[in-house]
Protein backbone atom coordinates (compact mmCIF):
# COMPACT_ATOMS: atom_id res chain seq x y z
CA UNK A 1 0.00 0.00 0.00
CA UNK A 2 1.19 3.52 -0.75
CA UNK A 3 1.49 5.69 2.35
CA UNK A 4 -0.74 8.73 2.79
CA UNK A 5 1.81 10.96 4.50
CA UNK A 6 -0.72 13.59 5.53
CA UNK A 7 -2.69 10.95 7.46
CA UNK A 8 0.34 9.29 9.06
CA UNK A 9 0.85 9.42 12.86
CA UNK A 10 2.55 12.67 14.04
CA UNK A 11 5.76 10.94 15.13
CA UNK A 12 6.12 9.30 11.74
CA UNK A 13 5.62 12.66 10.04
CA UNK A 14 8.25 14.30 12.24
CA UNK A 15 10.75 11.50 11.58
CA UNK A 16 10.11 11.72 7.84
CA UNK A 17 10.51 15.50 7.74
CA UNK A 18 13.75 15.36 9.74
CA UNK A 19 15.18 12.63 7.52
CA UNK A 20 14.19 14.46 4.35
CA UNK A 21 15.74 17.70 5.63
CA UNK A 22 18.98 15.78 6.04
CA UNK A 23 18.72 14.11 2.62
CA UNK A 24 17.31 16.92 0.47
CA UNK A 25 17.61 20.10 2.55
CA UNK A 26 14.87 22.14 4.26
CA UNK A 27 13.71 24.04 1.14
CA UNK A 28 13.09 20.92 -0.93
CA UNK A 29 11.52 19.14 2.03
CA UNK A 30 9.14 22.07 2.45
CA UNK A 31 8.10 22.03 -1.21
CA UNK A 32 7.59 18.26 -1.04
CA UNK A 33 5.23 18.77 1.91
CA UNK A 34 3.30 21.52 0.12
CA UNK A 35 3.13 19.23 -2.93
CA UNK A 36 1.30 16.65 -0.80
CA UNK A 37 -1.35 19.27 -0.02
CA UNK A 38 -1.44 20.30 -3.68
CA UNK A 39 -2.12 16.67 -4.66
CA UNK A 40 -5.27 16.77 -2.54
CA UNK A 41 -6.86 19.08 -5.13
CA UNK A 42 -9.42 17.21 -7.20
CA UNK A 43 -11.56 18.77 -9.89
CA UNK A 44 -12.99 18.44 -13.37
CA UNK A 45 -11.35 19.76 -16.52
CA UNK A 46 -11.62 23.58 -16.56
CA UNK A 47 -14.46 24.73 -18.80
CA UNK A 48 -12.82 28.09 -19.28
CA UNK A 49 -9.34 29.45 -18.85
CA UNK A 50 -8.55 30.59 -15.32
CA UNK A 51 -6.64 33.85 -15.25
CA UNK A 52 -4.51 34.65 -12.23
CA UNK A 53 -5.61 38.19 -11.51
CA UNK A 54 -2.98 40.40 -9.97
CA UNK A 55 -0.11 38.64 -11.73
CA UNK A 56 1.36 40.80 -14.46
CA UNK A 57 2.47 39.60 -17.87
CA UNK A 58 6.13 39.92 -18.80
CA UNK A 59 8.61 38.56 -21.32
CA UNK A 60 10.17 36.34 -18.68
CA UNK A 61 6.87 34.49 -18.25
CA UNK A 62 7.62 32.01 -20.99
CA UNK A 63 7.33 28.56 -19.37
CA UNK A 64 4.35 26.24 -19.69
CA UNK A 65 3.74 23.01 -17.82
CA UNK A 66 1.40 20.29 -19.04
CA UNK A 67 0.53 17.92 -16.21
CA UNK A 68 0.45 19.59 -12.79
CA UNK A 69 1.01 16.62 -10.48
CA UNK A 70 3.52 15.92 -7.76
CA UNK A 71 6.64 16.03 -9.91
CA UNK A 72 5.70 19.27 -11.64
CA UNK A 73 4.92 20.91 -8.33
CA UNK A 74 7.91 19.74 -6.33
CA UNK A 75 10.58 19.74 -9.05
CA UNK A 76 9.79 21.35 -12.38
CA UNK A 77 7.97 24.48 -11.23
CA UNK A 78 10.21 24.74 -8.17
CA UNK A 79 13.52 24.77 -10.05
CA UNK A 80 12.24 26.46 -13.20
CA UNK A 81 10.99 29.51 -11.34
CA UNK A 82 13.51 29.60 -8.50
CA UNK A 83 16.77 29.53 -10.38
CA UNK A 84 16.38 30.81 -13.88
CA UNK A 85 15.02 34.34 -14.08
CA UNK A 86 12.26 32.80 -16.18
CA UNK A 87 8.77 32.49 -14.86
CA UNK A 88 5.68 30.38 -15.20
CA UNK A 89 3.21 31.51 -17.83
CA UNK A 90 0.69 28.74 -18.43
CA UNK A 91 -0.34 25.36 -17.10
CA UNK A 92 -2.72 22.63 -18.17
CA UNK A 93 -4.00 19.56 -16.38
CA UNK A 94 -7.09 17.42 -16.94
CA UNK A 95 -7.66 17.96 -13.22
CA UNK A 96 -8.60 21.66 -13.28
CA UNK A 97 -8.22 22.19 -9.53
CA UNK A 98 -4.61 21.01 -9.66
CA UNK A 99 -3.84 23.25 -12.63
CA UNK A 100 -5.18 26.27 -10.73
CA UNK A 101 -3.35 25.25 -7.54
CA UNK A 102 0.04 25.03 -9.31
CA UNK A 103 -0.60 28.20 -11.27
CA UNK A 104 -1.45 30.07 -8.10
CA UNK A 105 1.47 28.68 -6.07
CA UNK A 106 4.06 29.65 -8.71
CA UNK A 107 2.40 32.90 -9.85
CA UNK A 108 1.58 31.68 -13.34
CA UNK A 109 -0.48 33.81 -15.68
CA UNK A 110 -3.20 31.33 -16.55
CA UNK A 111 -4.46 27.76 -16.30
CA UNK A 112 -5.67 26.76 -19.75
CA UNK A 113 -8.92 24.92 -20.33
CA UNK A 114 -7.43 23.19 -23.40
CA UNK A 115 -3.79 22.28 -24.12
CA UNK A 116 -4.08 23.87 -27.60
CA UNK A 117 -4.22 27.32 -25.94
CA UNK A 118 -0.71 26.76 -24.66
CA UNK A 119 0.68 25.59 -27.98
CA UNK A 120 -0.90 28.57 -29.76
CA UNK A 121 0.40 31.13 -27.24
CA UNK A 122 3.38 33.01 -28.76
CA UNK A 123 4.46 34.01 -25.23
CA UNK A 124 5.22 30.37 -24.39
CA UNK A 125 8.67 29.30 -25.55
CA UNK A 126 9.31 26.21 -23.41
CA UNK A 127 6.82 23.44 -22.67
CA UNK A 128 7.47 20.94 -19.88
CA UNK A 129 5.42 17.77 -20.29
CA UNK A 130 4.83 15.87 -17.07
CA UNK A 131 1.39 14.35 -17.55
CA UNK A 132 0.48 10.64 -17.75
CA UNK A 133 2.98 8.64 -19.82
CA UNK A 134 0.63 7.76 -22.68
CA UNK A 135 0.08 11.46 -23.43
CA UNK A 136 3.76 12.54 -23.55
CA UNK A 137 4.51 11.90 -27.23
CA UNK A 138 1.27 13.47 -28.46
CA UNK A 139 1.84 16.65 -26.44
CA UNK A 140 5.50 16.73 -27.47
CA UNK A 141 4.62 16.49 -31.16
CA UNK A 142 2.10 19.35 -30.74
CA UNK A 143 4.70 21.47 -28.95
CA UNK A 144 7.38 20.77 -31.56
CA UNK A 145 5.00 21.54 -34.42
CA UNK A 146 4.19 24.84 -32.70
CA UNK A 147 7.88 25.74 -32.65
CA UNK A 148 8.33 25.35 -28.88
CA UNK A 149 11.31 24.00 -27.00
CA UNK A 150 10.12 20.85 -25.31
CA UNK A 151 11.19 19.04 -22.14
CA UNK A 152 9.52 15.62 -21.96
CA UNK A 153 9.48 13.81 -18.65
CA UNK A 154 10.42 10.15 -18.73
CA UNK A 155 9.38 8.00 -20.49
CA UNK A 156 9.14 10.16 -23.60
CA UNK A 157 7.24 7.40 -25.45
CA UNK A 158 5.29 4.30 -24.48
CA UNK A 159 5.44 2.36 -27.77
CA UNK A 160 7.05 2.38 -31.22
CA UNK A 161 4.17 4.35 -32.79
CA UNK A 162 4.85 7.14 -30.29
CA UNK A 163 8.55 6.96 -31.05
CA UNK A 164 7.99 7.16 -34.82
CA UNK A 165 5.66 10.15 -34.39
CA UNK A 166 8.08 11.94 -32.08
CA UNK A 167 11.13 11.30 -34.26
CA UNK A 168 9.18 12.33 -37.37
CA UNK A 169 8.21 15.67 -35.83
CA UNK A 170 11.70 16.21 -34.44
CA UNK A 171 13.24 15.68 -37.90
CA UNK A 172 10.69 17.91 -39.64
CA UNK A 173 11.18 20.71 -37.11
CA UNK A 174 14.89 20.45 -36.49
CA UNK A 175 15.01 23.83 -34.81
CA UNK A 176 12.79 22.73 -31.91
CA UNK A 177 15.21 21.21 -29.39
CA UNK A 178 14.17 18.23 -27.27
CA UNK A 179 15.17 17.74 -23.65
CA UNK A 180 14.34 14.59 -21.73
CA UNK A 181 13.46 14.13 -18.08
CA UNK A 182 16.40 11.81 -17.42
CA UNK A 183 17.91 13.84 -14.59
CA UNK A 184 20.50 11.49 -13.11
CA UNK A 185 23.08 12.01 -15.91
CA UNK A 186 23.43 15.58 -14.55
CA UNK A 187 24.18 14.53 -10.99
CA UNK A 188 27.73 15.42 -9.92
CA UNK A 189 28.18 11.81 -8.88
CA UNK A 190 27.31 10.53 -12.33
CA UNK A 191 29.53 13.12 -14.01
CA UNK A 192 32.44 11.86 -11.83
CA UNK A 193 31.58 8.28 -12.72
CA UNK A 194 31.70 9.07 -16.43
CA UNK A 195 35.01 10.89 -16.01
CA UNK A 196 36.53 7.90 -14.22
CA UNK A 197 35.21 5.41 -16.78
CA UNK A 198 36.52 7.46 -19.68
CA UNK A 199 40.06 6.95 -18.36
CA UNK A 200 39.70 3.20 -18.96
CA UNK A 201 39.15 1.13 -22.04
CA UNK A 202 37.38 -2.18 -22.61
CA UNK A 203 33.99 -3.50 -21.62
CA UNK A 204 32.16 -2.78 -18.37
CA UNK A 205 30.46 -4.93 -15.79
CA UNK A 206 27.52 -2.94 -14.35
CA UNK A 207 25.29 -3.96 -11.50
CA UNK A 208 22.29 -1.97 -10.26
CA UNK A 209 20.12 -2.77 -7.27
CA UNK A 210 17.19 -0.42 -6.85
CA UNK A 211 14.51 -0.46 -4.16
CA UNK A 212 11.53 1.60 -5.31
CA UNK A 213 8.35 2.82 -3.68
CA UNK A 214 5.53 0.36 -3.40
CA UNK A 215 2.56 1.81 -5.24
CA UNK A 216 -1.07 0.71 -5.19
CA UNK A 217 -2.31 -1.77 -7.79
CA UNK A 218 -4.76 0.79 -9.12
CA UNK A 219 -2.08 3.48 -9.63
CA UNK A 220 -2.19 4.88 -13.17
CA UNK A 221 1.40 3.71 -13.86
CA UNK A 222 0.03 0.15 -14.06
CA UNK A 223 -2.56 0.83 -16.76
CA UNK A 224 -1.71 -1.14 -19.91
CA UNK A 225 -1.60 2.04 -21.98
CA UNK A 226 0.88 3.75 -19.60
CA UNK A 227 3.61 1.10 -19.90
CA UNK A 228 3.85 -0.06 -16.27
CA UNK A 229 6.89 0.43 -14.08
CA UNK A 230 9.45 -0.68 -16.65
CA UNK A 231 8.67 2.43 -18.66
CA UNK A 232 7.71 4.46 -15.60
CA UNK A 233 10.78 3.73 -13.47
CA UNK A 234 13.30 1.31 -14.94
CA UNK A 235 14.00 3.59 -17.89
CA UNK A 236 16.17 5.78 -15.60
CA UNK A 237 18.70 2.97 -15.18
CA UNK A 238 18.58 1.62 -18.73
CA UNK A 239 19.41 5.17 -19.85
CA UNK A 240 22.27 5.54 -17.35
CA UNK A 241 23.74 2.16 -18.28
CA UNK A 242 23.60 3.03 -21.97
CA UNK A 243 25.45 6.26 -21.19
CA UNK A 244 28.16 4.42 -19.24
CA UNK A 245 28.76 1.96 -22.09
CA UNK A 246 28.48 4.76 -24.67
CA UNK A 247 25.89 5.08 -27.45
CA UNK A 248 28.50 4.26 -30.14
CA UNK A 249 29.75 1.02 -28.58
CA UNK A 250 26.47 -0.31 -27.22
CA UNK A 251 24.41 -1.61 -30.15
CA UNK A 252 23.21 -4.23 -30.88
CA UNK A 253 22.10 -4.99 -27.32
CA UNK A 254 20.60 -8.26 -26.21
CA UNK A 255 18.03 -7.94 -23.43
CA UNK A 256 17.30 -11.03 -21.33
CA UNK A 257 14.42 -11.13 -18.83
CA UNK A 258 15.00 -12.65 -15.41
CA UNK A 259 11.63 -12.19 -13.74
CA UNK A 260 8.20 -13.61 -14.58
CA UNK A 261 5.88 -11.99 -17.15
CA UNK A 262 3.31 -11.13 -14.49
CA UNK A 263 5.82 -9.21 -12.31
CA UNK A 264 4.43 -5.71 -11.81
CA UNK A 265 7.17 -4.09 -9.76
CA UNK A 266 9.95 -6.62 -9.15
CA UNK A 267 12.20 -6.96 -12.14
CA UNK A 268 15.52 -8.55 -13.05
CA UNK A 269 17.06 -7.97 -16.47
CA UNK A 270 20.41 -8.53 -18.13
CA UNK A 271 21.77 -6.42 -20.97
CA UNK A 272 24.59 -7.70 -23.20
CA UNK A 273 26.11 -4.85 -25.17
CA UNK A 274 27.94 -5.14 -28.51
CA UNK A 275 31.32 -4.25 -26.99
CA UNK A 276 31.13 -7.10 -24.47
CA UNK A 277 29.80 -4.97 -21.61
CA UNK A 278 27.24 -6.61 -19.36
CA UNK A 279 24.69 -4.91 -17.13
CA UNK A 280 22.24 -6.37 -14.68
CA UNK A 281 19.40 -4.34 -13.25
CA UNK A 282 17.32 -5.55 -10.34
CA UNK A 283 14.40 -3.42 -9.23
CA UNK A 284 12.48 -4.33 -6.11
CA UNK A 285 9.37 -2.65 -4.72
CA UNK A 286 8.11 -4.72 -1.82
CA UNK A 287 7.28 -2.31 0.94
CA UNK A 288 7.73 1.28 1.97
CA UNK A 289 11.19 2.81 1.46
CA UNK A 290 11.39 5.44 4.19
CA UNK A 291 14.07 7.49 2.39
CA UNK A 292 12.51 7.25 -1.07
CA UNK A 293 14.11 5.34 -3.94
CA UNK A 294 17.34 3.58 -2.95
CA UNK A 295 19.96 3.00 -5.63
CA UNK A 296 23.14 0.94 -5.41
CA UNK A 297 25.55 0.82 -8.32
CA UNK A 298 28.73 -1.23 -8.75
CA UNK A 299 30.86 -0.93 -11.88
CA UNK A 300 34.14 -2.47 -13.00
CA UNK A 301 36.05 -1.26 -16.04
CA UNK A 302 39.77 -1.77 -16.65
CA UNK A 303 41.56 -0.88 -13.42
CA UNK A 304 38.62 1.09 -12.08
CA UNK A 305 36.18 -0.26 -9.58
CA UNK A 306 33.47 2.07 -8.37
CA UNK A 307 30.47 1.95 -6.15
CA UNK A 308 27.77 4.55 -5.63
CA UNK A 309 24.98 4.70 -3.09
CA UNK A 310 21.78 6.73 -3.52
CA UNK A 311 23.47 9.51 -5.53
CA UNK A 312 24.88 10.53 -2.17
CA UNK A 313 28.13 8.60 -1.78
CA UNK A 314 30.64 7.44 -4.35
CA UNK A 315 33.91 5.51 -4.02
CA UNK A 316 36.27 5.12 -6.96
CA UNK A 317 39.27 2.78 -6.78
CA UNK A 318 41.78 3.08 -9.60
CA UNK A 319 44.67 0.75 -8.97
CA UNK A 320 46.06 1.72 -5.56
CA UNK A 321 44.35 5.13 -5.54
CA UNK A 322 41.01 5.55 -3.80
CA UNK A 323 38.77 8.63 -4.08
CA UNK A 324 35.63 9.00 -2.01
CA UNK A 325 32.92 11.62 -2.37
CA UNK A 326 29.91 12.45 -0.28
CA UNK A 327 27.59 15.26 -1.31
CA UNK A 328 25.92 17.26 1.43
CA UNK A 329 22.47 16.31 0.08
CA UNK A 330 21.44 13.61 -2.35
CA UNK A 331 22.12 14.84 -5.84
CA UNK A 332 19.84 13.29 -8.47
CA UNK A 333 20.57 16.06 -10.98
CA UNK A 334 16.98 17.38 -10.99
CA UNK A 335 17.91 21.04 -10.82
CA UNK A 336 20.35 20.87 -13.73
CA UNK A 337 17.97 18.73 -15.76
CA UNK A 338 15.10 21.22 -15.37
CA UNK A 339 17.27 24.24 -16.07
CA UNK A 340 18.90 22.94 -19.24
CA UNK A 341 16.10 23.90 -21.61
CA UNK A 342 15.55 27.25 -19.88
CA UNK A 343 19.22 28.21 -19.97
CA UNK A 344 19.64 27.06 -23.59
CA UNK A 345 22.11 24.28 -22.82
CA UNK A 346 22.65 21.57 -25.45
CA UNK A 347 19.54 19.51 -26.10
CA UNK A 348 19.53 15.72 -26.40
CA UNK A 349 20.84 14.55 -29.79
CA UNK A 350 18.03 12.91 -31.76
CA UNK A 351 19.94 9.65 -32.05
CA UNK A 352 20.06 9.47 -28.25
CA UNK A 353 16.36 10.32 -27.97
CA UNK A 354 15.69 7.35 -30.22
CA UNK A 355 18.22 4.84 -28.87
CA UNK A 356 17.41 5.24 -25.20
CA UNK A 357 13.71 4.75 -26.03
CA UNK A 358 14.43 1.64 -28.09
CA UNK A 359 16.27 0.17 -25.12
CA UNK A 360 13.54 0.75 -22.53
CA UNK A 361 10.85 -0.43 -24.95
CA UNK A 362 12.90 -3.61 -25.55
CA UNK A 363 13.24 -4.14 -21.78
CA UNK A 364 9.47 -4.02 -21.47
CA UNK A 365 8.97 -6.34 -24.43
CA UNK A 366 11.54 -8.86 -23.13
CA UNK A 367 9.81 -9.05 -19.75
CA UNK A 368 6.32 -9.15 -21.20
CA UNK A 369 7.06 -11.76 -23.86
CA UNK A 370 9.53 -13.68 -21.66
CA UNK A 371 12.17 -13.92 -24.36
CA UNK A 372 15.46 -12.40 -25.40
CA UNK A 373 15.11 -9.27 -27.52
CA UNK A 374 17.89 -7.83 -29.63
CA UNK A 375 17.88 -4.06 -30.08
CA UNK A 376 19.68 -3.01 -33.23
N1 LIG B 1 12.53 12.48 -13.46
C2 LIG B 1 12.10 12.00 -12.32
O3 LIG B 1 12.87 11.74 -11.42
C4 LIG B 1 10.61 11.80 -12.12
C5 LIG B 1 10.12 11.49 -10.84
C6 LIG B 1 8.73 11.33 -10.69
C7 LIG B 1 7.90 11.44 -11.78
N8 LIG B 1 8.43 11.72 -13.01
C9 LIG B 1 7.58 11.80 -14.21
O10 LIG B 1 6.78 12.97 -14.14
C11 LIG B 1 5.53 12.73 -14.76
C12 LIG B 1 4.40 13.03 -13.78
O13 LIG B 1 4.56 12.16 -12.68
P14 LIG B 1 3.95 12.54 -11.25
O15 LIG B 1 4.68 11.74 -10.26
O16 LIG B 1 3.91 14.01 -11.09
O17 LIG B 1 2.48 11.97 -11.41
P18 LIG B 1 1.13 12.59 -10.80
O19 LIG B 1 0.12 11.52 -10.88
O20 LIG B 1 1.42 13.21 -9.49
O21 LIG B 1 0.78 13.75 -11.83
C22 LIG B 1 0.32 13.54 -13.13
C23 LIG B 1 -0.61 14.69 -13.47
O24 LIG B 1 -0.98 14.60 -14.85
C25 LIG B 1 -2.37 14.89 -14.96
N26 LIG B 1 -2.87 14.28 -16.19
C27 LIG B 1 -3.28 13.02 -16.40
N28 LIG B 1 -3.62 12.85 -17.70
C29 LIG B 1 -3.42 14.04 -18.31
C30 LIG B 1 -3.55 14.50 -19.65
N31 LIG B 1 -3.94 13.67 -20.63
N32 LIG B 1 -3.24 15.77 -19.91
C33 LIG B 1 -2.80 16.62 -18.94
N34 LIG B 1 -2.65 16.24 -17.66
C35 LIG B 1 -2.94 14.96 -17.34
C36 LIG B 1 -2.98 14.32 -13.70
O37 LIG B 1 -4.24 14.93 -13.42
C38 LIG B 1 -1.91 14.67 -12.67
O39 LIG B 1 -2.14 15.92 -12.07
C40 LIG B 1 5.57 11.29 -15.23
O41 LIG B 1 6.01 11.24 -16.53
C42 LIG B 1 6.59 10.65 -14.32
O43 LIG B 1 7.19 9.51 -14.88
C44 LIG B 1 9.75 11.92 -13.18
Is residue 341 included in any domain, yes or no? Answer: no
Name all residues whose Cβ lies below 6 A of ligand 1.
Answer: 66-72, 92-95, 98, 130-133, 135, 153-154, 181, 183, 232
Residues, the chain = 376
On whether both 123 and 204 belong to a single domain, the answer is no
Q: How far is the CA of 127 from the centre of ligand 1 (A)?
A: 14
Is residue 342 included in any domain, yes or no? Answer: no
Q: For the chain, how many structural domains are there in total?
A: 2
Tell me the average pLDDT across 50-75: 93
Q: How far is the CA of 84 from the centre of ligand 1 (A)?
A: 22
On whether both 225 and 110 belong to a single domain, the answer is no
On whether both 147 and 202 belong to a single domain, the answer is no
Q: How many CA atoms lie within 13 A of 359 on its CB side?
A: 28
Tell me the average pLDDT across 36-47: 94
Tell me the average pLDDT across 359-364: 98
On whether both 316 and 270 belong to a single domain, the answer is yes
In this prediction, what percent of the chain has a pLDDT beyond 70?
Answer: 99
Query: Measured from the CA of 220, which atom of ligand 1 is nearest?
Result: 19
Phi, psi of 133 (to 5 degrees): -60, -40
Asked whether residue 14 carries a pLDDT value surpassing 90, the answer given is no
On whether both 46 and 151 belong to a single domain, the answer is yes
Q: How far is the CA of 133 from the centre of ligand 1 (A)?
A: 7
Is residue 123 included in any domain, yes or no? Answer: yes
Reported pTM: 0.95
Is residue 321 included in any domain, yes or no? Answer: yes
pLDDT band at 1 (very low <50, low <70, confident <90, very high): low
Give tens-digit pLDDT for 165-220.
Answer: 999 999 999 888 999 999 999 999 999 999 999 999 999 999 999 999 888 889 99
Count of beta carbons in the 10 Å neighbourhood of residue 173: 17
On whether both 120 and 191 belong to a single domain, the answer is no
Query: Measured from the CA of 233, which atom of ligand 1 is nearest?
Result: 43
Looking at every residue in the chain, the average pLDDT score rounds to 94
Q: 211: domain CATH number?
A: 3.30.360.10
On whether both 194 and 176 belong to a single domain, the answer is no
On whether both 128 and 213 belong to a single domain, the answer is no
Residue nearest to atom 10 of ligand 1 (CA): 130
Q: How far is the CA of 250 from the centre of ligand 1 (A)?
A: 30
Q: What's the CA dihedral at 358, 346, 277, 370 to 10 degrees?
A: -20
Give tens-digit pLDDT for 262-310.
Answer: 888 999 999 999 999 999 999 999 888 888 899 999 999 999 999 999 9
Q: How many CA atoms lie within 13 A of 343 on its CB side?
A: 14
Enclosing domain of residue 276? 184-331+347-375
* Domain stops at, among 150, 180, 210: 180
Amino acid sequence: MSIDYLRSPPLYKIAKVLRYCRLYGPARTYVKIIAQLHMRQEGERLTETWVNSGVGDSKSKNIAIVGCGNFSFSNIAYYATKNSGSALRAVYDTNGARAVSLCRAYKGLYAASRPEEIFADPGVSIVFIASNHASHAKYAVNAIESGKIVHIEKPHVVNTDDLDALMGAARRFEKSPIYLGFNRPFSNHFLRIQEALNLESGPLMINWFIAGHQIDDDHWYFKESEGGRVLGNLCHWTDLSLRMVGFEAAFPIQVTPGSPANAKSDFALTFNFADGSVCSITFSAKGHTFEGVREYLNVHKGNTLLSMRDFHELAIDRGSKRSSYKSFFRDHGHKRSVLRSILGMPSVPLREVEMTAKLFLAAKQALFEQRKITVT
